[in-house]
Structure 1
Amino acid sequence: MTGPTPLPPPTRAEYCVLACAEAWRDGGEVLAAAMAPVSSFGARLAKRSFAPELLLTDGEAMLVDLDGQVEGWLPYRRHLTMVTGGKRHVMMGASQIDRYGNQNISCIGDWSRPSRQLLGVRGAPVNTLNNPVSYWVPKHSPRVFVERVDMVSGVGHDRAAAAGVGRFHRIPRVVSDLGVFDFETPDRSMRLASLHPGVTVDQVRRATGFDLAVGDDVPYTREPTAEELRLIREVIDPHGMRDREVRV
């Protein structure tokens, strides 16, 4: 007799989903606002596994359960109340991000005459000053991880401290296709917290446009459990959208 067929090993995209999910661990009953497929899959994985109290939104005006069924009403004014009250943990994208977590989604180049116009500042300043904000970057490169952002949309640690508005400012983590990053350093600059399996420290350094804090023994991003892999592959993302966002 033969045993069950072993599962294929986790892909880079699946490590990214898992790393995004971990951003909401021990966060309590807060609204998970994710802005991209992989980060959204991470929020759903967190709720299905270790954060059942997490609230999910349809992105418009409703709170939804794991099957997408409406659980409650969340009009825009109530959403803003949650933002200003710190009851939301958003995972935004970043066209640029620097060593202190300043984020840019507004423009590339001089803001008075940019070479490229992006989304605009949107709600990034309020997000970063009132509730936890993490970031998901699907393609780690020196064009994204820069020495200095061209315009500050989301507020980083250095600017929050200089302005005296750091009381509720928190950037739990940055997740990219290469690894996980935090700001657990004396000057609150970005640190390599874990590498996704198959990635090297030198690879991360070459893809980063500033001197990144790196410890002597950087761990790998934890392995997903068999149940977490099943949820990702069969329930949360059966059509494999994660592999279109994370291309290795």
Structure 2
Amino acid sequence: MSTATAITRAEYCVIACAEAWRDNGEVLASPMGPIPSFGARLAKRTFSPDLLLTDGEALLVGLDGTVEGWLPYRRHLTMVTGGRRHVMMGASQIDRYGNQNISCVGDWERPARQLLGVRGAPVNTLNNPVSYWIPRHSRRVFVERVDMVSGVGHDRAEAAGVTRFHRLPRVVSDLGVFDFGGPGRTMRLASLHPGVTLDRVREETGFELSVPAQVPATREPSAVELRLIREVIDPEGLREREVRG
């Protein structure tokens, strides 16, 4: 592929986020942030046409992001508790089991930094699929132990006996894609974005990561998908502002 049309890291991230909703059927896709939103729109335009798209809060949106309807809070909660939603959230911290923190950094009694609060993360993670998007992969985010549990990981869900509807399909970062197919349902490297080395991922991860014998590269967007990303979904190139080169 020529330099003029070379696929950027941000575009690999869009396609990796889109893949989170493959084969989901008719569910509410709730992406948080630009690149997950672009991924959800790409998925609906291509391999997951039955998705319902939301702005992440109370509105249903079309393929171009324009408002198409209102989603009352009671109906939204019905979809959440009934498992008819797949949200892609962010994470200020995440550990090997998928426990996520968006509440505070530091000791609960005197945190060094106050963040969003727990919000709906516990209900999300115990009732419907939850994936994560992390635009800056580092040891500050991928930690040995989260300072506070907001989203529930595999170890805590199992300890509490609430695994029936608990599902964490994938984590996408600016370095690669991860799932929880490691020993004891711990985080495993699923693919590396082109240009990223295994050593780089290990260096930027604050816990021992499960790594298969052969690590594939994140799949390239097709010519059609690339055109949709660049010309239809994100012609302003906002994706490039979220992911470093």
What TM-score comes out, normalization by structure 2 length? 0.97
> Does the alignment pair 1:90 with 2:87?
yes
Q: Is contact 2:64-2:233 (8 Å) kept?
A: no
Aligned residue in 2 for 1:183: 180
TM-superposed deviation, 1:58: 3.1
Distance 2:176 2:152 in 1: 22
Q: How far 1:6 sits from its partner (Å)?
A: 8.6
1:118 is matched by which residue type in structure 2?
Answer: L
Provide the residue aligned with 2:212 in structure 1.
Answer: 215
Q: CA deviation at 1:9?
A: 1.4
Per-residue deviation, 1:7: 5.8
Matches of 2:107 and 2:215 in 1, distance apart?
36
Superimposed CA distance per residue, residues 224-244 of structure 1 (whole angstroms, 9 cap, x where no aligned partner): 100100000011111111110
Alignment of structure 1 residues 186-197 onto 2, 5 Å: 186-197=183-194
Q: Which runs of 4+ in 1 moved over 4 A?
A: none
Task: Tell me by how many angstroms 1:72 deviates.
Answer: 3.7
* Matched residue, 1:18: 15
Secondary structure at 1:125 match in 2: helix
Q: Does 1:118 align with 2:112?
A: no
Which residue of structure 2 aligns with residue 246 of structure 1? 243
Q: CA deviation at 1:123?
A: 0.3
Matched to 2:113, the amino acid is R
Query: Are 1:174 and 2:171 matched, yes or no?
Result: yes
1:39 to 23, 36, 40: 36
| 1:67 aligned partner | 64
Give the distance between the partners of 1:50 and 1:185, measured in 2 at CA.
28
| Aligned mates of 2:3, 2:100 — CA distance in 1 | 41
Offset at 1:52?
0.5
Give the count of matched residue pairs: 244
Q: Which residue of 2 aligns with 1:101?
A: 98
**Matching residue of 2:6:** 9
Q: 2:126 aligns with which of 115, 126, 129?
A: 129
Q: Does 1:143 align with 2:140?
A: yes
Q: Is the 8 A contact 2:31 2:55 kept in 1?
A: no
- The share of aligned pairs that are identical, in percent, is 80
Amino acid at match of 1:150: D
Q: Report the alpha carbon displacement of residue 57 of structure 1 after superposing the two structures with TM.
A: 1.4
Instruction: Give a deviation string over 1:29-73, Cα, whole Å, max 9, x none.
Output: 000101110011100010011100000013443322213454443
Which residue type is aligned with residue 64 of structure 1? V
Unaligned stretches of 5+ in structure 2? none
Alignment of 1:223-234 (within 5 A): 223-234=220-231
CA–CA distance in structure 1, aligned partners of residues 41 and 59 of structure 2: 15
